[in-house]
Structure 1
């Protein structure tokens, strides 16, 4: 799958943060996030804002190694004032997008992953916000849907993360090394949004195609993405599981990464 344009990712960091701000506006910031039960809604929002600023600092300084948290100018709102949190989220997203635009997609910087470029951080921060916007919307009980391009990219990036984890001997991901069993994701509302995933002995592989698999997950693309990221239960009536449901559960349990 081709990546989205660098500028699109920069725009989405800001747009999705605006949606997150709207989702939590007027909500109980002390409410527990069902999909991240160790966090309150305020803590979820602060996590997103800190992640943006951390990535932005790596890009801005052209860091050759990870930046320690205490070196990141978070300017945390430090109060229970919802307006201060709202402005802090907006500023962090805008500043990070500006740093990414200034750097362009091909500047070499430290990342924890397979791609050591500023383009990695643009994509990663956009998708980080895609997923945590879902957490916020679920907690605040407001509607959530994602554009097809971003929902598909979120699925694709997660597959890349799983394969990267396998190649670096992650204990959970290593349990997905297998004998060729297959999973099929089939979006019912987005032509071409299908993935055939094989659990191979050397690591997972996948292709964008329709095919028979040991288990198939069917439903709207946003909902497939939410199941894949463990934000929607696979037994939800919004999706359909055909075949070996235990294999899908096995996959989900071993792609939580803590």
Structure 2
């Protein structure tokens, strides 16, 4: 499956970081618990996200051939003082700008270490754009504000999640992802606010794992809703009974997937 262009991902990283910074500068409560990541406060989430930006920036800028441990990443932990919104905002701005600069200078095909099936800077541009897409949803939900994402980015986020799960299942290293296999069953994802095959997905189970493709086809169970909500439900950020979502068919098959669709 072809993903978006490298520059599109770089632009999206910039935009998503700006949106996260707006939460900080507009007075969001940094101490509030993140409902979708209850072990974190909003500040913990933002520090985690900014730290990931700095880690990837160092990988890309140095053309790393192996993983770089966190303790070797300058500034990964964020500002020394917790609760300092101005310092957190400045750190996020610096982290995002440095990563985008490194990615643009490298271009998509420059060889860089990754944990995945691709070993290039293009992988990291896509991965960090989608990391931000989902963690910004976590942040926005914690702050009680509305969340939307561009349709092309949301659709690619579903594609990437499926590609990651397929890769992880193939490695056999994640017990939950490894269980995404059964003798029969399929899942149809249908975005109700978009049209054409680019707004629909089919996931089919098999004893050797699952396969997926874009397209409109009947399945054992269908999950329907606006594309953004479909993305969040598929990432387990919204419950299946959330307003606007509809489950048609064998709900157990969908819940079987959601309980096991993870990695790391």
How many angstroms apart in 2 are the aligned matches of 1:167 and 1:91? Answer: 37
Within 5 Å, which residues of 2 pair with 1:139-158? 139-158=142-161
Quick one: distance in 1 between partners of 2:27 and 2:262? 31
Find the residue that maps to 1:18 and give its secondary structure.
Answer: helix
Distance 1:256 1:63 in 2: 26
Q: Pick from 219, 223, 229 the counterpart of residue 225 of structure 2.
A: 219
The residue number in structure 2 matching 1:14 is 14
Please report how far the alpha carbon of residue 180 of structure 1 lies from its aligned counterpart in structure 2 after TM superposition: 3.2
1:190 to 188, 194, 209: 194
SS of the equivalent of 2:97 reads helix
List aligned pairs for 1:40-79, cutoff 5 A: 40-74=41-75, 76-79=78-81
Measured on the aligned residues, the alpha-carbon RMSD in Å equals: 1.1
Check the 8 A contact 2:165/2:263 in 1, yes or no. no
State the 1:2 CA deviation.
2.0
Contact 1:23 1:142 in 2 (8 A): no
- Give the alignment partner of residue 171 of structure 1, picking from 171, 175, 195: 175
Which residue among 96, 101, 112 is the counterpart of 2:99? 96
For residues 169 and 207 of structure 2, the distance between their equivalents in structure 1, rounded to whole angstroms, comes to 11
For 1:141 and 1:112, the matched residues in 2 are separated by 34
Matched residue SS, 2:13 = helix
Greater than 4 Å deviation, 4+ residue runs: none
Partner of 2:209: 203
Distance 1:5 1:23 in 2: 28
How far has the Cα of 1:256 moved from its partner?
A: 3.0
Superposed CA deviations along residues 61-90 of structure 1, whole A, max 9, x for unmatched, are 111111010111126211121011011101
The separation in 2 between residues aligned to 1:5 and 1:256, in whole angstroms, is: 26
TM-score (norm 2): 0.95
Aligned mates of 1:112, 1:180 — CA distance in 2: 30
Question: 1:16 & 1:173 partners in 2: Cα distance?
Answer: 28
Shift of 1:29: 0.4
Contact 1:53 1:72 in 2 (8 A): yes
**Structure 2 unaligned regions, length at least 5:** none
- Aligned equivalent of 2:111: 108
Deviation string 1:119-156 (CA, Å, 9 cap, x unpaired) is: 00000000000000100100101110011000001100
